[in-house]
Amino acid sequence: MSQQSLDVNKKWDQVYSQSFMTMWYPNEDIIRFCARLIRKRLTHDEFQVKKEVETVLDLGCGNGRHAIYFAREGLKASGIDVSKQAIDWAIDWAQREGLDVDFRVGDIANLPYEDRTFDVAVSHGVLDHVRPQLANAAVRELRRTMKKGGLFYCDLRCADDFEYGLGTEVEPNTFMLDHGYEQGLVQHFFTLDEIKALFDGQFRIIYSEITERRLEPDYQRRYSRWILAVEAI
Ligand SMILES: C[S@@+](CC[C@H](N)C(=O)[O-])C[C@H]1O[C@@H](n2cnc3c(N)ncnc32)[C@H](O)[C@@H]1O
């Protein structure tokens, strides 16, 4: 791992060791992604299969909530994260549930998997928590490890989000956070042009949407995320 990754590892370890980021249920937009593009339950025991899939990677898996979700659905799931603390949580969780998930400590820009391993990948809140150069390297690595036609879900903070501008701008649209439990971590706020550039020539965008929560007390502050599904070309 590079020195930069080791430093980031330490920061994320602090976040996880204080349980600030452990989440125990899957993100709703990932469940929706599955229903829209992979498999949708029609009745109690009937499914509409939209894509036959076997293998799934959770990129920046944290304590493993999405890899665990896919393993419960019967897929061969893998998860990778730079934080050893997060991966320890994830391994413990899978063991307690009797699920066989391949969790590893590692860097998303240097994936320890063979070419064309995965049918599906998901990544919640990760590619916007690294510097743009690293996000680009991670997408290249992901494309290498995914099968052609494979589906990738990711969500990213949007450039019109209410927290845009907080902290120190270290490069365009990228801020070193100086508040809360994410202090010292990087947040990039994506424009649509940046998203197109990130995937250009490697993935085709299937859908790109923005979800927005307008926050109390006056409902003027918008918590805003891109929700994306792309296909490996
Ligand atoms: C906001 S958390 C999201 C965690 C998880 N995806 C979830 O939804 O619960 C971002 C995650 O990205 C991981 N991360 C950040 N940089 C990374 C890198 N270079 N390689 C691997 N994981 C990284 C962090 O350790 C952290 O677990």
Output the CA 127–ligand 1 centroid distance in Å: 8
pLDDT in tens, 56-73: 999 999 999 999 999 999
Q: Region 95-119: what's the mean pLDDT?
A: 98
- Please, which pLDDT band fits residue 188 given cuts at 50, 70 and 90? very high
Q: Which residue's C-alpha comes closest to atom 1 of ligand 1?
A: 125
User: Collapsing DSSP states into helix, strand and coil, what is residue 213?
Assistant: strand
111-to-124, 142, 152, 172, 210 alpha-carbon distances in Å: 17, 8, 15, 27, 29
CATH number of the domain that residue 13 is part of: 3.40.50.150
Asked whether the predicted pLDDT for residue 125 surpasses 90, the reply is yes
pLDDT in tens, 88-102: 999 999 999 999 999
**129 contacts: CB under 8 Å, gap ≥ 6:** 60, 185, 186, 187, 188
Q: Which residue's C-alpha comes closest to atom 17 of ligand 1?
A: 82
Q: Give the count of domains, the chain.
A: 1
Instruction: Give the global pTM.
Output: 0.96
Asked whether the predicted pLDDT for residue 109 surpasses 90, the reply is yes
Looking at residue 21, its pLDDT comes to 74
Asked whether the predicted pLDDT for residue 128 surpasses 80, the reply is yes
- State which residues form the domain around 59: 3-232
Helices (H) then strands (E): counts for the chain: 6, 12
